[in-house]
Chains A and B, each alone.
Chain A
Amino acid sequence: MDYTFKSDGSLLKCYMAGEFTFTDHPIFRDMIDAAVKTGARSIQLDLQNVEYIDSAGLGMFLVANERSSEEGWKFSISNPREKTQKMFTLAKLGTIVPITND
């Protein structure tokens, strides 16, 4: 998994790319750390270039979501691909994390 940041006022978008699985745990944690350090009030993970997310990947979103409520920033996800969206729908992730499509 790779990522790049793009700041849009108070919203920081993290464009993730590639596969997001169990082994990406450290890089994901670093990404969230770096994103939080920018002081953004709102952090959005953009998934348009993410090909595959496994169950551990979904678990990491849950951790980021919990952290956002503890630290008082907004967490959201945008533009999941069809396969990813199916997984989110099945797991009702939208009831926990806002999921948007541009």
Chain B
Amino acid sequence: MTHNANDIPFELIENRKILVVDDVKSLRDVMSLILHKAGFKNIEQAENGQEAMAKITAAPPDLIILDLIMPIMGGMEVCYQVRETKKTESIPILVQTAMHDNEERLKAFAAGASDLVTKPVNALELVIRTTLHLESLVLTENREKYRARVADELAMAKDVQQNILPSAKHLHQIRDQTGINISSMCQPSSELGGDFWGVRTLSDESIGFFIADFSGHGVVSALNTIRLHTLLFNVGEAWQEPDQLLSSINQSLCDMLPTEQYATMILGLISPKNNTLSYAGAASPPPIYGLWEEPDKLQYLDTTGLPLGISRTAAYDLQTVPFTKNHFLFSFSDALIETKLNNDTYLEGEELIRLVKYLTGGRPTPKLLDQLISTFFERGGNKLRDDLTAVCFDYL
């Protein structure tokens, strides 16, 4: 065959099963012979709709060539039945109709015909249409295979990414060692995300932590989170100087990332001995910080800074605030404050502070993160178009 525009080798369609349905034996034989001569090797016949349906149900063919007027069961009924059954609904059906009968042609399409072939049969047209529909079947199958493979791979990649997030067991260990309680959630908007966070216990029982968000989302951002994971994997006590560590990560990311990719991040150190939180910010959303008992004094911490990976010379300021047994820090990615809620508002600024005040009521609230995220989802935040991460640090 030479009219193959899709580069599908004929071998891929020559063995596909074609069912020729016509009550006139000589016509069935002519069509079968035409197709056989064209190279198709798997041709079956049926002499009416009932016999056709029995064969279709037993072993669905890849293509049906169907006459309309037949005894016992006509072609229209075959069309309906094939289209009604899940297993057979997408089999291409070529209906034979007379060229001049417009009404019949429209009826055939309405009944579920994929295409028409003229009656009496035209050999070249029959072969061309048969080839065309079988090729498009192969294309559809290939696309479906590709989609399934990509979906599988994304699901596996998501597992890999989820596995490098701190585990519940790790967070329990941190609590046992340091007294610091960490609750968290990390939900990608598509299969893979650019949000990432981590925490390490240091030799003096303080903890180093970071919450990062790579620009964009999807595969590229997810790969970048793995880069960051590698950069921060084994930096030892460098966590003791958050501003220095952030600068050094920035320089590494400047070398790794193309211009349009960058990360926002907060990197901090909570020291139970000194009762302090030290941190450096690179444009991550300002986290909420304060004392459980003083809800009116809740505030956003300053995280102003050039995002990471943009300028090698960027400097990051070290900020230090008290962090006692009565303090908490609630940090989150921008999806929390940039997702439009049901009433067209955003959970940002004073509104977010108000919600935290309401949920805590001036008392230590171990489930603050869970309650806040549920409220966000209830108000319409579940229509995420970006990854959402939230992490809460306290001593509860």
Contact = CB atoms under 8 A, between A and B. Distances in A.
Contacts of A52: 338
B105 to A, nearest CB: 41
B334 A89 contact: no
B283 A92 contact: yes
A95 B306 CA distance: 9
B352 to A, nearest CB: 14
Contacts of A30: none
A91 B286 CA distance: 11
Interface stretch (B134-142, B225-233, B258-266, B323-331): B258-266
A59 B285 CA distance: 17
Contacts of B334: 55
Interface residues of A, number: 17
A31 interface: no
A27 interface: no
A96 interface: yes
A63 interface: yes
A55 B216 contact: yes
In this complex, the interface size class of chain B, counting residues with CB under 8 Å from chain A, is 20 to 34
B45 to A, nearest CB: 51
A13 to B, nearest CB: 23
A56 B307 CA distance: 12
Contacts of A91: 264, 283, 305-307
Contacts of A58: 215, 262, 307
A93 B262 CA distance: 13
Contacts of A55: 194, 213-216, 262, 264, 334, 386
A44 to B, nearest CB: 20
A33 interface: no
A76 to B, nearest CB: 17
Contact of A56 (B215, B286, B310, B338): B215
Contacts of B338: 52, 54
Among B216, B285, B334, which residue has the most Cβ atoms of chain A within 10 A?
Answer: B216
Given A54-B386, A56-B215, A62 B260 contact: yes
Interface string B339-375: 0000000000000000000000000000000000000
Interface of B: 194, 213-217, 259-262, 264, 283, 285-286, 303-307, 310-311, 334, 338, 386
Interface of A: 22, 52, 54-56, 58-60, 62-63, 66, 89-92, 95-96
